[in-house]
Structure 1
Amino acid sequence: MSDFLLVGGGVIGMMLARELADAGAEVTLVERGQCGEESSWAGGGIVSPLYPWRYPASITALASYAQDFYPKFTQQLLEETGIDPEFREDGLLLLQVADEQAALDWAAVEKRELEQVDAAFLYDKEPDVAPGFSSALWMPKVASVRTPRLAKALRASLKRYKNIRLLENTEVHGIYHDEGEVLGVEGKQMIFSAKCTVLCAGAWTGKLLEQLEVKTAIKPVCGQMLLFKAPPGLINRVVLMKGRYLIPRKDGRILAGSTMEYVGFDKQTTQDALESLRETAFQILPKLRDYEIEKHWAGLRPGSLDGIPLMGEVPNYRNLYTSAGHFRNGVVLAPAAARAMGDLLLKREAKIDMTAYSFSNDS
């Protein structure tokens, strides 16, 4: 019997598996498909909330941890696996921000690098951005990772651990419990047992908890994305406008995202979304009109109340925990979530105060 059974092999679940295994625990990770191929694969990989000053302090605390964590961690993954997550700390330019003063005030309080810059600065950094902008906000320390490669590297790293058991293509149908004591989960043909079970199943976590008559705000929120096959150097840093963004990759490709759609568990792409994303991309970077759209896809974010994840023990059930509901910031919050949950599950001194993420705050 494993010490810990993790349900869900996205970035959240995989990082937690490493955290627990590094402490010597026996870990079983169960994933309905292949690890890292749901929301983690589909996301953009900006290592910051899009407009960080608009989030509660509980999100800022987790995001700050991640921004210090990723540089060394991605290098470690590259050395372990030979897979490059493509960590890039090239900064973030924000265009047409309505609440600039709120952003500047937040940066001053949080001691984060954020400044208003003029047109000369903007076009020196990104000459091909659409003409006519008189100013922008600049966050030089914002980085990005290439999420499919981060997920692949994490999955490869887990396979190197002797105390991690990966069970992919294994769908969980319910929680196995006896009078409130959770003993594991039920699959199609068998029960997977463990001393402690953690639900890290993203948008599917809410459905599993509903079977226990535990209601949460976790629900799927669809996001569609485009990938342009552009040459290296068309842009060199993340550019954000009106809630949409362009993210350059090392090979020149540019990711454009994303939509926010409350359509249940439907991941179908739509022509309307493609046209809307394409038009916004052209408004930011007109030269993209010269390059083809190579891919168009959708993923399901685990939506939550105010974007605050639900992390901690499930009320009225012993040995059952969740780490889900990270919404648009799964990659950003994953390192802090893994550390916080690791401290809780292993009964270590807490590095991160978990009060804000408990069930008492969810509705």
Structure 2
Amino acid sequence: MSDFLVVGGGVIGMMTTLQLADAGHEVTLLERGACGRESSWAGGGIVSPLYPWRYSAPISRLSTWSEGYYPELALRLLEETGIDPEYRQKGLLYLRVDDEPRALGWARAVGKPLERVAAEFLYAKEPSALPGCDGALWMPTLGSIRNPRLVKALRERLAAMPKVRIVEGCEVTGLQREGRRVSAVDAGAERFTAGEVVVCGGAWAAELLGSLGVGLPVRPVKGQMILFKAPPGLLQRVVLMDGRYVIPRADGRVLAGSTLEEAGFDKGTDRAARESLWESATRIVPALAGCEVEHHWAGLRPGSPDGTPFIGRVPGLDNLSVNAGHYRNGLVLAPASTRLLVDQLLEREAILDPSPYRLEGRLNTTM
């Protein structure tokens, strides 16, 4: 029997497993498909909420802590696995922001570098950006990470750790309860036991907890993205306009996203979304119109009522915890949200006040 059983092998589940194993614990990680192949793989990798001044303080606190941790994590994974997650801190340019005074006020209040820059600055940074802008908002500290490589590196590191067991292709079908404890986790014909169970199931978290009568208000929200095969150097940094964004990779490729769709667990792509994403991307960087669209995909975000994740113990159960409901910011908040939960599991001093993220008063339960 492992010390910990982590259900869900996305970036949240894998970072949780890594921290628990770093602390010397035996961890079993269960993943219904392949680790890191759901929303962790499908997102864009911007290490910040898109418009951070529009989010609540609890989300901002998680985001700020995570942003400071990503450079260290990327270097560690490169050293330990040889896989470069491609953390790039080249800043972000915001075009056509309609609540600019609010943005600048937020930046002053939290001490975040954000300023209004003139057109000359904008086009010196990104000559290919939408022509005719009179300026932009500039956040120089923003970074991005190549999330498919991040999750590949995390899995590689975990696979090399003697105290970690990874079980993929293992869909959990139910959680068994005895008194105030989860006694077992069923996955088809297999049954797993552990001292502590942690559900990091992303968009599927509510279904996982449903067998215990726990009403976790997390739902799937589909997002579609496209990838341009652009020449290296066409775009150097993230550019955001009208809620859509383009993200450069080190090899020149450019991601464009993303849609927001209430479509249940459907991960299909469609022509209308592709055309909408193409139009948004080519408005932001007109030269992308001459580049091949190399890939088009969709992922399922774990939507929650206000975007604040559920982090902590499930009320009424002494050995079941949850880390889910990050909505559009799973990758953004992953380092802080996993550290916050692991601090509680190991009874360490927490990096942040855990109370805004607790489950008490935020879910319906029939237990």
**For this structure pair, what is the TM-score category when the shorter chain's length is used for normalisation?**
over 0.9
CA contact (8 A) 2:315 2:360 kept: no
1:186 matched residue in structure 2: 186
What is the aligned-residue identity percentage?
A: 56
Amino acid at match of 1:54: R
CA contact (8 A) 2:227 2:255 kept: yes
> TM-score, normalised on structure 2?
0.98
Amino acid at match of 1:342: V
Alpha-carbon shift at residue 77 of structure 1 (Å)? 0.3
Q: Secondary structure at the match of 2:197?
A: strand
Alpha-carbon shift at residue 362 of structure 1 (Å)? 2.3
Alpha-carbon shift at residue 361 of structure 1 (Å)? 4.9
Do residues 237 (structure 1) and 237 (structure 2) align? Answer: yes
Whole-angstrom distance in 2 between the partners of 1:169 and 1:255:
28
2:65 matched residue in structure 1: 65
For residues 213-228 of structure 1, the aligned pairs below 5 Å read 213-228=213-228
For residues 131-146 of structure 1, the aligned pairs below 5 Å read 131-146=131-146
Whole-angstrom distance in 1 between the partners of 2:15 and 2:362:
24
1:279 matched residue in structure 2: 279
Whole-angstrom distance in 2 between the partners of 1:194 and 1:86:
35
For residues 69-218 of structure 1, the aligned pairs below 5 Å read 69-218=69-218
1:356 matched residue in structure 2: 356
Alpha-carbon shift at residue 2 of structure 1 (Å)? 0.7
Alpha-carbon shift at residue 118 of structure 1 (Å)? 1.1
Matched residues, number: 363
Q: Secondary structure at the match of 1:191?
A: strand
CA contact (8 A) 1:130 1:283 kept: yes
Tell which deviates more after alignment, 255-264 or 64-73. 64-73
Deviating above 4 A after TM superposition, structure 1's stretches of 4 or more consecutive aligned residues are: none
Alpha-carbon shift at residue 135 of structure 1 (Å)? 1.6
Alpha-carbon shift at residue 211 of structure 1 (Å)? 2.1
Post-superposition CA distance 1:213-243 (Å, at most 9, x none): 2112210000000000000111100000111
Post-superposition CA distance 1:194-228 (Å, at most 9, x none): 01100001000011122222112210000000000
Q: Secondary structure at the match of 2:347?
A: coil
Amino acid at match of 2:305: L
Amino acid at match of 1:147: N
Unaligned runs of 5+ in 1: none
Do residues 330 (structure 1) and 341 (structure 2) align? Answer: no
Post-superposition CA distance 1:74-94 (Å, at most 9, x none): 011001001010000000001
Amino acid at match of 1:231: P
Whole-angstrom distance in 1 between the partners of 2:70 and 2:318:
33
Alpha-carbon shift at residue 305 of structure 1 (Å)? 1.8
Post-superposition CA distance 1:2-44 (Å, at most 9, x none): 1110000001010110111111111110000111001100010
Tell which deviates more after alignment, 249-258 or 310-319. 310-319
Whole-angstrom distance in 1 between the partners of 2:335 and 2:318:
25
Alpha-carbon shift at residue 180 of structure 1 (Å)? 3.5
CA contact (8 A) 2:205 2:216 kept: no
> TM-score, normalised on structure 1?
0.99
Pairwise CA RMSD = 0.9
Post-superposition CA distance 1:280-327 (Å, at most 9, x none): 011111111111100000000001121100010111222111001111
Alpha-carbon shift at residue 183 of structure 1 (Å)? 1.6
Whole-angstrom distance in 2 between the partners of 1:360 and 1:295:
42
Name the CA shift for 1:361/1:295 in 2 (closer, same or farther; >3 Å). farther
Whole-angstrom distance in 2 between the partners of 1:35 and 1:251:
24
1:39 matched residue in structure 2: 39
Alpha-carbon shift at residue 73 of structure 1 (Å)? 1.1
Whole-angstrom distance in 2 between the partners of 1:109 and 1:185:
46
Whole-angstrom distance in 2 between the partners of 1:179 and 1:272:
51
